[in-house]
Structure 1
Amino acid sequence: MNPREVAFTGLFTALTAVGAQISIPLGPVPVTLQVLMVLLSGLVLGPRVGFLSQIIYVLAGAVGLPVFAGFSGGFSYLYGPTGGYLLAFPLAAFFAGYLAENFEGRKGMVIGSFLGVSVIYLLGWLRLAFFLGGDFHRAFLLGVLPFVPIDVAKAVLAVLIAARVKKAIDWR
Structure 2
Amino acid sequence: MKKNTVKDLCMIAVFAAIISIVGQFSIPLPGGVPMTLQTLIIALAGAVLGSKKGFWSTVIYILIGAIGVPVFAGWTGGIGAIMGMTGGFLVSFPLIALFTGLGDEIGVRLSVSAGARGRKVISSVSLLIGVLVGYVVNYAVGSVWFMAVAQSNLATALTACVIPFIPTSILKAVLVLILGPVLKHSLEKAHVLEVRRTAAV
| Short-chain TM bin | over 0.9
CA distance in 2, matches of 1:99, 1:31: 24
- Tell me which of 180, 184, 188 is aligned to 1:166: 184
- Tell me which of 118, 124, 146 is aligned to 2:142: 124
Structure 2 residue 156 is the aligned partner of structure 1 residue 153: no
Structure 2 residue 78 is the aligned partner of structure 1 residue 74: yes
Matches within 5 A, 1:43-54: 43-54=47-58
Letter in 2 for 1:87: V
| Structure-1 residue corresponding to 2:99 | 95
TM-score (norm 2): 0.83
SS in 2 for 1:71: coil
| 34-43 or 134-143: bigger deviation | 134-143
Bigger Rg over Cα = 2
| 79-88 or 133-142: bigger deviation | 133-142
CA distance in 2, matches of 1:3, 1:107: 32
| Structure-1 residue corresponding to 2:17 | 14
Shift of 1:142: 0.8
CA distance in 2, matches of 1:85, 1:159: 22
Letter in 2 for 1:41: A
| Structure-2 residue corresponding to 1:133 | 151
- Tell me which of 131, 147, 156 is aligned to 1:113: 131
| Structure-1 residue corresponding to 2:87 | 83
| 2:49–2:184 contact (8 Å) kept in structure 1 | no
Shift of 1:167: 2.1
SS in 2 for 1:2: helix
CA distance in 2, matches of 1:56, 1:153: 26
Shift of 1:134: 4.1
Structure 2 residue 43 is the aligned partner of structure 1 residue 39: yes
SS in 2 for 1:21: coil
| 2:47–2:127 contact (8 Å) kept in structure 1 | yes
Aligned length: 172
Q: Unpaired runs of 5+ in structure 1?
A: none
CA root-mean-square deviation: 1.1
Structure 2 residue 27 is the aligned partner of structure 1 residue 24: yes
Shift of 1:124: 0.5
Which whole-Å deviations, capped at 9, do the CAs of 1:2-25 have from their partners, x for residues lacking one? 011101100110111111011111
Q: Which runs of 4+ in 1 moved over 4 A?
A: none
SS in 1 for 2:92: helix
CA distance in 2, matches of 1:57, 1:149: 26
Shift of 1:151: 1.1
Letter in 2 for 1:64: G
CA distance in 2, matches of 1:107, 1:45: 18
Q: Percent identity?
A: 36
CA distance in 2, matches of 1:11, 1:139: 33
CA distance in 2, matches of 1:48, 1:98: 9
